Amino acid sequence: MNKIPLHVGIIMDGNGRWAKEKGLNRSEGHKAGGKVLEKIALYAKNLGIKYLSVYAFSTDNFKRSEEEVNNLMDLLIYYFKTKLDTICKDNIKVVFSGRTCNLRSDVIEAMKHIIEKTKNNTKCILNICLNYGGQEEIVDACLKIANDLNSGFLKKEALNRETFRKYLYQDLPPIDLLIRTGKEHRLSNFMLYQNFYAEIYFTDTFFPDFDEKEFDEALIYYNKCDRKFGDVKNN
Ligand code: IPE
Ligand code: IPE
Ligand code: MG
């Protein structure tokens, strides 16, 4: 593999359908998805991928039943608590993107804990999008920009696509490769600003069946892409 993307995004979709196919309940699907994320995050780190952004829970996922939402939040807390040592050992820094306002206080506490414990890690950044919406992120950035313009901290002339980035939830480079599992071909409000020139790999595989081999497939796909960024290349 000659080109390793700097930033990979994953829309981890298909947990519910995977469970249904097996006659299990949806939370079993989420549990199985969690295990896959653990493997893939480690694999990506070992390949030298510096930034991995994963879609764990969207703002729109609050439309689901209270039972499913609570199960998902419990699962996230379980992971943050039990995987902390491994994440630290692997030198992974965990950050979050999303709105904390309507999250449960125990979820917020667990998030703060993992942020604090991993803040000095340097090998790679795992950005977990939790209660995240891409449009919400852009609106929230605009509100912060409006404040800074009003106070004079930011000059209108200084605003461009790079400086805008600093007002997003995390100051991350653009996504180079976006992977979406689970058959659907859409963005579902995931990192709209950061995906502006992402190469997109869609797979029918439900996330609990996704593995290192298929991650390699996505990288092979990425290596074949002719990234032009609007320019003209003579092939
Ligand atoms: C993705 O799997 C995980 C979350 C959205 C939290 P889904 O739960 O959306 O699974 P499907 O799409 O119903 O199969
Ligand atoms: C996107 O999946 C959100 C996450 C993977 C967390 P959804 O299942 O919520 O997306 P839609 O509803 O199919 O667009
Ligand atoms: Mg889904």
Does 188 contact ligand 1 (Cβ within 6 A)? no
Total-model pTM: 0.97
CB-ligand 1 contact for 130 (6 Å cutoff):
no
**Side-chain-side CA neighbours of residue 206 (13 Å):** 16
Q: Which amino acid is residue 223, in one-letter code?
A: N
What ligand is nearest to the CA atom of residue 28? 1
Residue with tokens 């960024």: 229
Which pLDDT score is estimated for 229?
Answer: 95
Terminus-to-terminus CA distance in the chain, angstroms? 21
Domain ranges of the chain: 7-133+174-224
CATH class of 7-133+174-224: alpha beta
**Is the CB of residue 207 less than 8 Å from the CB of residue 14?**
yes
Among 15, 31, 37, residue to substitute to test ligand 1 (most atoms within 8 Å of Cβ):
15
- The C-alpha atoms of residue 164 and residue 197 are separated, in whole angstroms, by 16
Provide the residue-wise pLDDT of the chain in tens; the chain has 235 residues.
689 999 999 999 999 999 999 999 999 999 999 999 999 999 999 999 999 999 999 999 999 999 999 999 999 999 999 988 899 889 999 999 999 999 999 999 999 999 999 999 999 999 999 999 999 999 999 999 999 999 999 999 999 999 999 999 999 999 999 999 999 999 999 999 999 999 999 999 999 999 999 999 999 999 999 999 999 986 6
Q: In what order do the strands lie in the sheet with 51-58?
A: 92-97, 124-132, 51-58, 7-11, 177-180, 199-202
Cα(202) to ligand 3 centroid in Å equals 14
**Ligand 2, atom 2, residue with closest C-alpha:** 13
Reply yes or no on whether 13 is catalytic: yes
